[in-house]
A and B are shown apart, each in its own frame.
Chain A
């Protein structure tokens, strides 16, 4: 019997990251611009998707992948709102989507028919930030009723995203929410992050989000 030490130094999430890279190549091959939408439960991810579907110029074909612990309520809403396809992933208790689940969802889509793919992650401000999917941009949807301390409490999530939506600004008069304190927390974690304060209820501010999305789509096509 002999004992020996084997050096490994392998990133434990490597397998996920490798598959995320494959997912990205597949999206690029079909010219699909994919966004990973993350938020806490109830922030308004599905409502933002519905609004985005109705306001984006109709020449864009948008598909939606919905991650939830259970039910197909969200995918049904997306299909009704005009998505060319809506795939529901039930994680069966899992707290986040990972590259494997996203890969399986891509198998179910005809990517030739899709320009924009909106991925609605499981409602959770912690775990989704740790698992790459292979999407081009990560978007965080915060909302006013959650409170202005969330950047301070969930730094990992706020640090890793490419754009931030602050939903439900129509509730600002009724809820204690210090926008300056909130934005300061964001700036510390993610300097220069583009922020869209908006309300999916009243429509205020959504035009800027749609403009950004349209421009990002053009940029990604030009860079390929």
Chain B
């Protein structure tokens, strides 16, 4: 439901950076989404197609890198990818775990076109 708001943030961040660099077009956006971040790629793409219209990012491609959840067991130091509903350590059965990866949600880079070399 809140993907519209999120997509607006993505466009704003991209436009801020692109404008600073004097871009005439944004061609690509590289996004990282962890499995624990409740964000649906298809939904972001859907809103993007609507809100990016008539901006310099109108024809930009969105690239999503999904990050699998990775946990660290605080008792035995095992690192593992849990199944979504059970964060128990498969090595020692402990439930004292820390999220190492999986809650990322960032705009990592954009590709832009500029008129000429600076």
Contact = CB atoms under 8 A, between A and B. Distances in A.
Interface of A: 1-13, 15, 94-96, 98, 124, 126-127, 129-131, 152-153, 155-156, 185, 187-189, 191
B21 A4 contact: yes
A6 B86 contact: no
A156 B87 CA distance: 12
9 contacts: A3-B112, A6-B18, A8-B109, A9-B109, A12-B105, A12-B106, A131-B2, A152-B85, A187-B95
Contacts of B84: 155
B110 interface: yes
- A11, A95, A156 interface centre (most CB from chain B within 10 Å): A11
A10 B109 contact: no
Contacts, number: 93
A155 B85 contact: yes
Nearest to B31: A12
- Is chain B's interface secondary structure helix, strand, loop, or mixed overall? mixed
Interface string B87-118: 11000000110000000011111111111110
A11 B106 contact: yes
Given A12-B10, A94-B5, 9 more contacts: A3-B27, A6-B109, A9-B107, A12-B6, A13-B6, A94-B2, A127-B2, A130-B38, A152-B85
Contact of B17 (A8, A15, A129): A8
- A10, A94, A126, A189 interface centre (most CB from chain B within 10 Å): A10
Interface of B: 1-2, 5-6, 9-10, 13-14, 17-18, 21, 24, 27, 31, 36-38, 84-88, 95-96, 105-117
B88 A188 contact: yes
B109 A7 contact: yes
B98 to A, nearest CB: 11
Contacts of B115: 1
B110 A8 contact: yes
B109 A5 contact: yes
Given A3-B113, A13-B9, A155-B85, A8 B27 contact: no
B13 A12 contact: yes
A188 B114 contact: no
A169 B27 CA distance: 56
A5 B87 CA distance: 37
A5 B108 contact: no
B2 A4 contact: no
B113 A2 contact: yes
- A12, A126, A152, A189 interface centre (most CB from chain B within 10 Å): A12
Nearest to A187: B95
A77 B24 CA distance: 54
